[in-house]
Amino acid sequence: MRKKIVAANWKMNMTLGESTRFIESFLLDAADIREVEIVIIPPFTALAKVTELLENKSQSIKVGAQNMHWERNGAFTGEISAALLRDLFIHYVILGHSERRRLFGETDEIVNKKVRAAHEATLRPIVCVGETLEQRDKGNVEKILSIQLRGSLKDLSEKELQETVVAYEPVWAIGTGRNATPEQAQEAHAFIRQTLREMSDETTADRIRIQYGGSVKSENAQELMGQQDIDGALVGGASLDPRSFAAIVKAARDQK
Ligand code: PGA
């Protein structure tokens, strides 16, 4: 059975003081939760602080980064490599978020280079895919998801695929307050799993965790994560408040 994974994507928010207050408060609610894997994904500036605050506090809470460069090191001013993240004991990295694709020109090819570099450094990627509203209205959801998955996850071994988390994030649902309905999300997730099956094999596809992201909040979390192929959530806005994020984690725990 797939263990649910719920991640807090803080994006470009949270000072060191705010991060500290968040972790202290969140631990009161969530330190004892074992059934769900929890990932806190702060901005680069707070990675070390959050890691330090979580040390020896909970086996279930990991730390992730929001992006990285595909090269190991070198003259890439302003960039961070997988090795630098591992140096901070980071476990996960979000790759190919729609904000990076849209605002920073990341293509599936770039995402794929990063995904392979992450695995090489034993960093687990959370790879985001999802259609825009225009693509959905034109009936192109499956086409877009297939292209993004096959491009971003190209040339990975079965083991690497199993250690990859896929996040289905319809672009029209991110930060808009308008989440996909549980049925819409399940339909996309089932298609993603089917595509992963075609790209590898049955066992591998059954082991890959697929998160839903896009306006997840405590009110809709339980129903979304109750769907057969939804194995967790990637949470933006609602993850900035420790109580609301803890409520989403509990919704994941209370599923099965
Ligand atoms: P949101 O963001 O929860 O604020 O919609 C989700 C994401 O971008 O990962």
Residue carrying structure tokens 């890959």: 208
Predicted confidence (pLDDT) per residue in 61-106, tens digit: 999 999 999 999 999 999 999 999 999 999 999 999 999 999 999 9
Q: What is the mean pLDDT of residues 110-122?
A: 98
Predicted confidence (pLDDT) per residue in 182-241, tens digit: 999 999 999 999 999 999 999 999 999 999 999 999 999 999 999 999 999 999 999 999
Phi, psi (degrees; rounded to nearest 5) at 220: -110, -5
Please identify which of the residues 37, 106, 160, 169 carries the catalytic annotation.
169
Q: Where in the chain are the domains?
A: 5-254
Q: Is 37 a catalytic site residue? A: no
Q: Classify strands 5-9 and 232-235 as parallel, antiparallel or unpaired.
A: parallel
Q: Is 232 in the pocket of ligand 1 (CB under 6 A)?
A: no
Predicted confidence (pLDDT) per residue in 189-201, tens digit: 999 999 999 999 9
Q: Which fold has domain 5-254?
A: TIM Barrel (3.20.20)
Decide: 90 and 64 in contact? Cβ < 8 Å: yes
Q: Is 64 in the pocket of ligand 1 (CB under 6 A)?
A: no
The mean of the pLDDT values for the chain is 97
- Cα of 116 vs centre of ligand 1, distance in Å, is 24
pLDDT for the residue 256? 58
Q: What is the mean pLDDT of residues 154-181?
A: 96
Give burial (CB, 10 Å; 0-12/13-18/19+) of 12. Answer: exposed
**C-alpha distance from residue 37 to each of 5, 98, 141, 191 (Å):** 5, 23, 29, 24
